[in-house]
Amino acid sequence: MVCTIALLTVLCGCEVERRRSDADLGLNPQQASGRHVYDQYCDRCHAPYSSKKRQGPSLKGAFKRQYFSASGLPANDDRARDIIRMGRNKMDGFSNVLTDEQINDLLAYLHTL
C-alpha cells in the first residue's frame, strides 16, 4: 500500500513535467494558435505554467490578477497588446514580427494561463 502511494506520487510528479497537449488544456483553435506563437516567441522569457521567473516574469495567471506583476499596469488586453507591440525594458517589441491576428490569438491563449 505504502509502495503504491509512493509510486503514484512519483508518477504524478512526472505528469506535471510532461508537456500537455492542446486538447489536455482544453484550448479552442484560436487559443491553440496563440500557444503556438507563444512557444515560438515568448516561452524562452516567460514561464506559462509555473511561477518561476525566466528573463521576464511568469505569465501564469497574469490575467487573473488586476495588475501585471512586473510593470504594475492593469492586466487587460489593451495594455498587454501595447507591451507585446512596443516592448518594455528588456523585452523587445513584436510589432514587426507578429500580425494583429497572431497577437489576438496570443491574447486568447494568455487568458487561459
Residues 6 or more apart from 90 whose CB is under 8 A from it? 55, 56
Tell me the CA end-to-end span of the chain in Å, nearest whole number: 36
Beta bridge partners of 91: 88
Other Cβ atoms closer than 10 A to 91: 18
Q: Which of 31, 47, 48, 57 binds ligand HEC (CB under 6 A)?
A: 57
36 vs 88, beta carbon nearer ligand HEC? 88
8 vs 78, beta carbon nearer ligand HEC? 78
Q: At closest approach, how far in Å is the CB of 19 from ligand HEC?
A: 18
Is residue 108 at the binding interface for ligand HEC, with CB under 6 A as the rule? no
Q: Which of 46, 48, 105, 108 binds ligand HEC (CB under 6 A)?
A: 46
Whole-number Å distance between alpha carbons of 108 and 93 = 19
Per-residue contact string for residues 76-95; x = within reach of ligand HEC by CB under 6 A: ----x--xx---xxxx--x-
User: Residues 19, 38, 12, CA angle at the centre, nearest 5°?
Assistant: 20
Binding site for ligand HEC (CB under 6 A): 41-42, 44-46, 55-57, 62, 68-71, 80, 83-84, 88-91, 94, 106
